């Protein structure tokens, strides 16, 4: 019986190619749009958390600050709110690190008469308080210490970036919901169109003894097949676009620390099941509407 | 209504069918017996098709009681209606073949809907199409068939499910004399094999040849036949 229903469903899809193509494309489009937003968030928020984890505030002191003053300044910074620890990096230490990093150009450094680097503090923040406002706040507090010449906490623009991402996230959710609802309705209307063009056929089927189930089950299967096809096509389009974009991105900007990632298999399965649900639900809505009006 | 007659297959008690303020059937009382060949006759618009429709619940009666093979049609639940219809083979006045399906598929539909196994369906459809002489056209679309051929496919579909009752609405209406007598012969065959047959027609020749009981309808009422 199930194979008969499948046969009927497939035959009906073949007979109404145009309307069914419209449904498949709609579902595919909503998968593409919703999922590309989700992909964007997943990857950008990954970058952000990675960068945030690495947030270190560097406070460089004036060159003429005497060494006796150092512990006092360190204490002052340690006392600031949300500071986890403060490490003093002497100019000598910094110079050694620099020399290590510039081994090949060591001749450059050897020509220097004196160490040009300032004494500095490296400040790490308590993980839970790493919001952009707090980072900025702390930075300006450190800046206001008179012996501090300059505060650097890199990626200042990240703050603005994360704000934009949050904005994107909201509009992404809204669009995702909008498109899913829209595809349910488009599928519902497509099925209704198909049913309307076949209402004589359905009427005849009833008159010769077909049960509601006999009429409905192939249509449900049809909806689920349309949903699955739309989901698969959407994922394929997404994946090929994803591959062509990521292969053009300079992996350098992600510092190799992490890989820009596509959906996992289980997420893809969820996407596929959701689009099948959309197909079925569209069918269900329009059948409820039509069957109710008949005897 | 409670009096049980073993041979009674269909009983109508004080049945009315109204369309708005207009009534198509008035106070119909009719009993049809098992294996009867009965005609419903009368002028156009008398209510013949309407009477048949009430029997397969194409429409509900406005008033009165109808029993079909022990089922009270006024009280049947919606999900039992398909089972009622599988007891009844209907030859519609306008054939009602599905144009997007082949002849074979049209006939097979009845058996698929009844949940019959595939091999049985293959055999059965072949044999009923052979019986009506349409086995050569089984892959054609009904649209490519002549009126008489469509009529025969409609008959094949009506009998495919081995129904207890066959309802035929003007089965010879659009046919020439030769096709008409072919159809008459087919219906008689099924009658001999045990089906109960109800034919709505104004074909007097048909009635005379078959020699069954005839019920005369006029303006929605059962009346004595005109002299
Ligand atoms: N759905 C409907 N709505 C309104 N009136 C209807 C409807 N169906 C039938 N009628 C009316 O009921 C009356 C009986 O119609 P019916 O089709 O039963 O006649 P008939 O005896 O089968 O005629 P014919 O020999 O032409 O087929 C007619 O007057 C018709 O106009
Ligand atoms: Mg009629």
DSSP labels for B71-102? Answer: EETTT--GGGHHHHHHHEEEE-TT----TTS-
Last residue of a domain, one of A104, A120, A152: A152
**What is the distance in angstroms between the Cα of B85 and the nearest Cα belonging to chain A?**
5
Domain count, chain A: 2
Write down the ipTM of this complex: 0.89
How far, in Å, CA of B107 to CA of B112, rounded? 9
Please give the pLDDT value at position B17: 96
Structural domain for A83, as ranges: 56-152
Q: Do residues A171 and A275 share a domain?
A: yes
Please give the pLDDT value at position A26: 85
Residue A259 lies in a domain: yes
Last residue of a domain, one of A152, A178, A208: A152
**pLDDT tens per residue across span A198-246:** 788 888 999 999 998 898 888 889 889 989 999 999 999 999 998 888 7
Please give the pLDDT value at position A98: 80
Residue A71 lies in a domain: yes
Contacts with A212 from chain B: Cβ below 8 Å = 79
Q: Do residues A275 and A163 share a domain?
A: yes
Please give the pLDDT value at position A254: 47
Higher pLDDT, B92 or A255: B92
Contacts with B85 from chain A: Cβ below 8 Å = 206-209
The partner residues of B38 in beta bridges, in order of sequence, read B198, B213
Last residue of a domain, one of A132, A152, A172: A152
C-alpha distances out from residue A207 to B58, B81, B169, Å: 7, 9, 14
Distance from the first to the final alpha carbon of chain A:
25
Sheet containing B88-91: which strands, arranged edge to edge?
B88-91, B165-169, B196-200, B37-41, B213-218, B221-223
Instruction: State the residue for tokens 């087919």.
Output: B186
Q: Do residues A39 and A109 share a domain?
A: no
Higher pLDDT, A111 or B158: B158
Closest C-alpha to B109, from A202, A82, A87, A117: A202
Is residue B189 classed as helix, strand or coil in its secondary structure? Answer: helix
Phi, psi of A126 (to 5 degrees): -65, 130
Q: Do residues A146 and A190 share a domain?
A: no
For A194-204, b/e burial (b = at least 16 CB within 10 A) is: bbeebeebbeb
Q: What is the mean pLDDT of residues B35-45?
A: 93
**pLDDT tens per residue across span B93-147:** 899 999 989 999 999 999 999 999 999 999 999 999 998 889 999 999 999 998 8
Q: Do residues A41 and A10 share a domain?
A: yes
Q: Do residues A170 and A275 share a domain?
A: yes
| Minimum CA distance residue for ligand 1 atom 12 | B24
The tokens of A154 are what?
């890199």
> Any alpha helices (H) in chain A, and if so which ranges?
2-15, 17-53, 70-78, 91-101, 106-110, 132-143, 157-197, 199-207, 212-246, 265-292
Residue A116 lies in a domain: yes
Q: Do residues A28 and A66 share a domain?
A: no
Say what percent of chain B tops pLDDT 70.
97
Does the structure show a pLDDT above 90 at A10?
Answer: no
- Report the residue of chain A nearest B80, measured CA to CA: A211
How far, in Å, CA of A156 to CA of B129, rounded? 83
Q: What is the mean pLDDT of residues A192-203?
A: 80
The partner residues of A164 in beta bridges, in order of sequence, read none
Strands B196-200 and B22-33: unpaired
Q: Would you state the torsion angle of the CA atoms of residues A81, A85, A86, A89, taken in this order, to the nearest 10 degrees?
A: -160
Please give the pLDDT value at position B2: 47
Q: What is the mean pLDDT of residues B33-42?
A: 94
Ligand 1 and B48: CB distance under 6 A: yes
How far, in Å, CA of A285 to CA of A213, rounded? 15
Ligand 1 and B45: CB distance under 6 A: yes
Residues with Cβ within 8 Å of A107's Cβ and at least 6 positions away in sequence, in order, are none
Question: Which range has the worst mean pLDDT, A83-97, A153-167, B35-49?
Answer: A153-167
Cα of A118 to ligand 2 centre, how many Å? 106
Q: Give the predicted TM-score (pTM) of the model.
A: 0.71
Which atom of ligand 1 lies nearest, measured to the CA of B22? 5
Residue A175 lies in a domain: yes
Q: Do residues A221 and A180 share a domain?
A: yes
Q: Do residues A252 and A207 share a domain?
A: yes
DSSP secondary-structure letter at B225?
Answer: P
Which atom of ligand 1 lies nearest, measured to the CA of B20? 4
Touching check for B14 and chain A: CB below 8 Å? Answer: no
Contact indicator for A128, A84 with CB cutoff of 8 Å = no
Cα of B223 to ligand 1 centre, how many Å? 18
Between the ranges A50-54, A72-76, B135-139, where is the mean pLDDT highest? Answer: B135-139
Cα of B91 to ligand 2 centre, how many Å? 12
Could you give the count of Cα atoms lying within 13 Å of A146 in the half-sphere of its Cβ?
A: 5
**pLDDT tens per residue across span B189-199:** 889 989 999 99
The tokens of A159 are what?
């703050």
DSSP secondary-structure letter at B43?
Answer: S
Record: contact A211-B96, CB cut-off 8 A = no
Q: Do residues A169 and A42 share a domain?
A: yes
Does the structure show a pLDDT above 70 at A51?
Answer: no
**pLDDT tens per residue across span A117-135:** 888 898 887 766 566 677 7
| Minimum CA distance residue for ligand 1 atom 27 | B44
Which atom of ligand 1 lies nearest, measured to the CA of B46? 21
Please give the pLDDT value at position B40: 95
Q: Do residues A30 and A133 share a domain?
A: no
| Minimum CA distance residue for ligand 1 atom 11 | B24
How far, in Å, CA of B66 to CA of B61, rounded? 8
Burial of B207 (0-12, 13-18, 19+ CB in 10 A): middle
Residue A295 lies in a domain: no
Name the pLDDT band for A291 (thresholds 50, 70, 90): low
Q: Do residues A210 and A139 share a domain?
A: no
Instruction: State the residue for tokens 């004080």.
Output: B14
Residues B215, B218, B224, B227, CA torsion sign: negative
**pLDDT tens per residue across span A139-173:** 888 888 888 888 887 655 566 666 777 777 788 77
The tokens of A23 are what?
């449904």
Q: What is the mean pLDDT of chain A?
A: 80
Helical axes B103-113 vs B118-131, angle rounded to 10°: 130
CATH code of residue A82: 3.30.70.3040
Please give the pLDDT value at position A269: 94
Helical axes A17-53 vs A265-292, angle rounded to 10°: 140
Name the pLDDT band for B1 (thresholds 50, 70, 90): very low
Q: What is the mean pLDDT of residues A64-89?
A: 86
Record: contact A207-B85, CB cut-off 8 A = yes
């Amino acid at each position: 019986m199930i194979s008969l229903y499948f046969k009927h469903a497939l035959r009906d899809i073949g007979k109404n190619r145009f309307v069914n193509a419209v449904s498949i494309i709609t579902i595919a489009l909503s998968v593409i749009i919703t999922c590309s937003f989700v992909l964007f968030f997943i990857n950008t928020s990954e970058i952000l958390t990675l960068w945030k984890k690495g947030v270190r505030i560097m406070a460089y002191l004036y060159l003429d600050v005497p060494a006796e003053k150092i512990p006092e300044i360190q204490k002052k910074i340690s006392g600031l709110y949300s500071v986890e620890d403060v490490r003093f990096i002497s100019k000598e230490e910094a110079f050694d690190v620099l020399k290590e990093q510039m081994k090949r150009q060591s001749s450059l450094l050897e020509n220097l008469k004196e160490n040009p680097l300032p004494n500095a503090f490296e400040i790490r923040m308590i993980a839970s308080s790493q919001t952009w406002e707090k980072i900025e706040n702390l930075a300006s507090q450190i800046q206001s210490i008179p012996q501090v010449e300059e505060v650097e906490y890199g990626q200042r623009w990240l703050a603005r970036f994360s704000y934009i991402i949050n904005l994107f996230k909201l509009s992404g959710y809204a669009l995702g919901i909008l498109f899913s609802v829209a595809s349910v309705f488009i599928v519902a209307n497509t099925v209704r169109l198909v049913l309307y063009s076949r209402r004589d056929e359905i009427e005849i089927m009833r008159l010769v003894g077909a049960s509601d189930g006999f009429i409905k089950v192939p249509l449900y299967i049809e909806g689920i097949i349309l949903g699955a096809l739309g989901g698969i096509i959407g994922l394929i389009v997404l994946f090929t676009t994803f591959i062509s974009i990521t292969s053009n991105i300079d992996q350098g900007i992600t510092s190799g620390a992490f890989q820009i990632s596509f959906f996992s298999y289980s997420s893809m399965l969820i996407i596929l099941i959701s689009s099948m649900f959309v197909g079925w639900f569209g069918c269900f809505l329009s059948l409820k509407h039509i069957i109710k009006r008949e005897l | 209504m409670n009096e049980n007659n073993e041979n009674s297959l269909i009983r109508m008690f004080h049945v009315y069918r109204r369309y708005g303020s207009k009534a198509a059937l008035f106070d119909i009382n009719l009993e049809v017996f098992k294996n009867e060949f009965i005609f419903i006759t009368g002028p156009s618009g008398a209510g013949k098709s309407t009477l048949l429709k009430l029997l397969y619940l194409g429409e509900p009666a406005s008033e009165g009681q109808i029993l079909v093979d022990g089922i009270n049609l006024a009280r049947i639940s919606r999900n039992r209606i398909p089972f009622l219809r599988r007891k009844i083979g209907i030859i519609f006045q306008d054939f009602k073949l599905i144009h997007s399906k082949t002849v074979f598929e049209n006939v097979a539909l009845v058996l698929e809907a009844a949940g019959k196994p595939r091999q049985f369906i293959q055999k059965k459809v072949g044999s009923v199409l052979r019986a009506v002489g349409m086995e050569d056209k089984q892959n054609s679309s009904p649209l490519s068939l002549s009126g008489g051929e469509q009529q025969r496919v409609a008959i094949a579909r009506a009998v495919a499910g081995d129904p207890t009752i066959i309802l035929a609405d003007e089965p010879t209406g659009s046919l020439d004399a030769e096709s008409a007598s072919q159809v008459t012969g087919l219906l008689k065959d099924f009658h001999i094999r045990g089906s109960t047959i109800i034919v709505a027609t104004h074909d007097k020749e048909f009635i005379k040849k078959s020699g069954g009981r005839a019920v005369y309808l006029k303006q929605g009422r059962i009346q004595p036949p005109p002299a």
